[in-house]
C-alpha cells in the first residue's frame, strides 16, 4: 500500500496527536505497534534515549497499554526519526491502511464494539492476521511468565534447602534436650552429695555465662565505638583522596610512556610505581583491567547508597574505556538487589559475587587468563593486591584510576 514516496507521505500524515494515538482501538494499535517496534530497533544509538531503550527491550504485550503505551504515544507525537521510520513501515504494511486513514483524519475513532464469535469477518485475512499477532503476544507473555516461574522455583528450592537445614538443627537440639533430661533423671536418683555437686557445677556455669554476657556487652560497645571511629576516618580519607585526585590530575599534563608488554609489565625508566604516570603507562589500548568495585566507591563516594555508588563508578569507568580503549570489568560483592539491573553499561562489564567475595572473584578471574596476558587490578586493598601480584598482575591504586577517568 505504498503511497509513492515517503516524503509525500510525511507531508500528508504529520506527527499525530498524542491523545489520538492513545484512543486507537486495540486492533489498530497492534498494527501500528508492529511498525513502531521495527522503527525502534532501526534507530541509531545516538538518538535513542534511555527510556526508548527500555521500551525497545519490552515485549509487545507490555506495550499494549499503561505507562509504556503512553510513553510511546508521546515519542511518536513529537515527530522526528522514530515517527518517520514508523510511518515508512506502516505505509508498507498491508494492514496499515485503516491506521493511516485515522491518522489523516479520514476516519473517526469509534468506541470499541462488543465482539461476537459468529461475526461475518471471522475468516477474513485481516482477522487471521490479528489473531496471529495476538497469539504471538500471548506466547511472549507465556514465555515471560515461564521465565519468572523458573526463577521462583529456583528460589523455592534454595529456601527449601534452608528449611531442611533448620529442621536438622531442631532435631539435633531436641536430641540434646532429651539427653539432658535423661541425665537429670539419673542425677535425681543419686545421693544428696552428688546432687549438690551438680548444683555447684550449674552455679559455676551460670556465673560463666553471666561473665560471658558482660564480655559480649563490652565487645558490642567497643564495636560501636570502632564503627564511629571508622566513619570519621573514612570521611577524612575521602577528603584526602579528593585532594590527591586533584594533585594527580594536574600531573597528567606531563604525559607518560606506555609500559612494556608482558606479565607483570615493566614501567619505562623514570616512572615511579603508584603514580598517575605509572597508571597511564599501564592502561594501554586493549589492556584488560579488573576493578575492585566497592573498594573504590566506598572510599570516594561512601556517603551514597550502594546502587548510586555503582552507577557513579560505572560512569567513571565508561569515560576511561572510551578514552583509553581498555577492556574493563568491575566486580562488586553480593548481588545488585531485586530491582537493580546487573549492568547498564555496554562499555564496562559488571559482575556481582552473590555467595562469595569480590576479592576471590578477582583472583579467580586473573587466574583464568593466559599466563602471559597482561592484566591490571585496581584496588587499595593490600591483601588483595598481594594475592594478585603473586599471579604477576599489575596493581594500581584507586586515586590514579579516578585521576585518569577525569
335 located within any domain: yes
114 located within any domain: no
3-state DSSP helix/strand/coil percent for the chain, to nearest 5? 65, 5, 25
Task: Say how many CA atoms lie within 13 Å of 319 toward its Cβ.
Answer: 11
19 located within any domain: yes
Of the two residues 65 and 337, the one the predictor is more confident about is: 65
320 located within any domain: yes
DSSP assignment, residue 303?
A: T
pLDDT of residue 301: 94
100 located within any domain: yes
CATH of residue 394's domain is 3.40.50
Which of 108, 141, 173 is a domain's end point?
108
Range(s) of the domain holding residue 351: 251-405
Which of 108, 142, 172 is a domain's end point?
108
pLDDT of residue 232: 75
Give dist(CA 118, CA 122) in Å, integer.
7
DSSP symbols for 57-106: HS-GGGGSSHHHHHHHHHHHHT-HHHHHHHHHHHHH-TT-HHHHHHHHTS
Contacts of 327 (CB under 8 A, 6+ apart): 286, 287, 288, 289, 321
* Residues pairing with 377 in the sheet: 290, 395
pLDDT of residue 390: 95
Mean pLDDT, rounded, for 28-50: 87
Which of 108, 128, 156 is a domain's end point?
108
Mean pLDDT, rounded, for 115-131: 62
Render pLDDT for 197-239 as a digit per residue (tens, 0 to 9).
998 988 999 998 998 898 988 888 888 888 888 787 677 666 5
Of the two residues 90 and 294, the one the predictor is more confident about is: 294
98 located within any domain: yes
318 located within any domain: yes
Q: Which three three-digit cell numbers place residue 176? A: 540434646
Mean pLDDT, rounded, for 133-147: 77
CA-nearest of 369, 402, 399, 365 to 384 is 365
162 located within any domain: no
Of the two residues 343 and 392, the one the predictor is more confident about is: 392
Q: What domain count does the chain have?
A: 2
pLDDT of residue 5: 46
Cα 277 to Cα 18, 224, 252, 382, 388: the distances in Å are 55, 40, 7, 21, 21
Burial 261-298 (b: 16+ CB within 10 A, else e): eebbbebeeebeeebbbbbbbbbbeebbbbbbbbbbbb
Mean pLDDT, rounded, for 247-254: 44
Mean pLDDT, rounded, for 309-335: 95
Q: Which three three-digit cell numbers place residue 293? A: 568495585
pLDDT of residue 241: 54
Q: Which three three-digit cell numbers place residue 393? A: 598482575
Cα 19 to Cα 36, 198, 203, 206: the distances in Å are 17, 85, 81, 76
**H or E stretch including 351?**
strand 348-353
Give dist(CA 281, CA 37) in Å, integer.
45
> Residue 158: is its pLDDT beyond 50?
yes
Do residues 332 and 353 make contact, with C-beta atoms less than 8 angstroms apart? yes
Q: 257 falls in which pLDDT band (50, 70, 90)?
A: low
Q: 65 falls in which pLDDT band (50, 70, 90)?
A: confident
Amino acid at each position: 500500500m505504498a503511497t509513492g514516496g515517503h516524503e509525500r507521505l510525511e507531508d500528508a500524515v504529520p506527527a499525530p496527536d498524542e491523545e489520538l494515538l492513545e484512543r486507537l482501538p486495540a486492533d489498530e494499535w497492534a498494527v501500528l505497534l508492529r511498525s513502531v517496534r521495527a522503527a525502534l530497533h532501526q534507530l541509531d544509538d545516538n538518538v535513542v534515549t534511555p527510556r526508548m531503550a527500555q521500551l525497545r527491550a519490552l515485549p509487545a504485550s507490555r506495550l499494549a497499554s499503561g505507562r509504556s503505551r503512553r510513553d510511546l504515544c508521546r515519542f511518536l507525537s513529537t515527530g522526528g526519526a522514530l515517527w518517520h521510520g514508523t510511518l515508512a513501515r506502516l505505509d508498507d504494511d498491508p494492514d496499515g491502511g485503516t491506521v493511516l486513514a485515522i491518522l489523516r483524519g479520514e476516519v473517526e475513532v469509534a468506541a470499541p464494539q462488543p465482539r461476537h464469535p459468529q461475526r461475518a469477518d471471522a475468516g477474513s485475512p485481516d482477522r487471521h492476521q490479528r489473531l496471529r499477532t495476538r497469539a504471538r503476544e500471548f506466547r511472549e507473555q507465556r514465555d515471560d511468565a515461564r521465565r519468572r516461574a523458573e526463577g521462583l522455583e529456583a528460589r523455592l528450592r534454595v529456601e527449601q534447602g534452608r528449611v531442611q537445614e533448620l529442621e536438622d538443627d531442631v532435631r539435633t537440639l531436641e536430641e540434646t534436650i532429651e539427653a539432658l533430661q535423661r541425665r537429670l533423671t539419673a542425677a535425681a536418683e543419686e545421693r544428696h552429695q552428688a546432687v549438690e555437686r551438680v548444683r555447684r557445677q550449674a552455679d559455676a556455669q551460670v556465673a560463666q555465662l553471666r561473665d560471658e554476657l558482660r564480655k559480649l556487652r563490652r565487645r558490642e560497645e567497643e564495636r560501636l565505638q570502632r564503627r564511629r571511629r571508622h566513619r570519621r576516618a573514612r570521611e577524612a580519607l575521602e577528603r584526602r583522596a579528593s585532594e590527591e585526585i586533584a594533585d594527580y590530575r594536574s600531573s597528567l599534563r606531563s604525559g607518560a610512556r606506555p609500559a612494556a608488554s608482558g606479565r607483570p609489565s615493566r614501567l619505562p625508566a623514570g616512572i615511579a610505581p603508584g603514580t598517575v604516570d605509572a597508571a597511564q603507562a599501564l592502561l594501554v589500548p586493549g589492556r584488560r583491567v579488573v576493578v575492585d568495585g566497592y573498594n573504590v566507591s566506598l572510599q570516594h563516594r561512601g556517603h551514597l547508597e550502594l546502587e548510586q555508588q555503582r552507577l557513579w563508578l560505572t560512569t567513571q569507568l565508561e569515560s576511561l574505556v572510551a578514552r583509553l580503549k581498555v577492556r574493563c570489568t568491575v566486580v562488586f560483592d553480593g548481588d545488585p538487589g531485586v530491582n537493580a539491573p546487573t549492568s547498564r553499561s555496554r562499555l564496562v562489564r559488571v559482575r556481582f559475587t552473590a555467595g562469595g567475595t569480590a576479592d576471590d572473584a578477582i583472583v579467580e578471574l586473573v587466574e583464568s587468563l593466559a599466563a602471559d596476558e597482561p592484566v591490571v587490578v585496581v584496588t587499595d586493598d593490600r591483601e588483595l593486591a598481594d594475592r594478585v601480584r603473586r599471579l604477576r598482575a599489575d596493581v594500581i591504586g584507586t586515586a590514579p584510576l579516578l585521576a585518569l577517568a577525569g
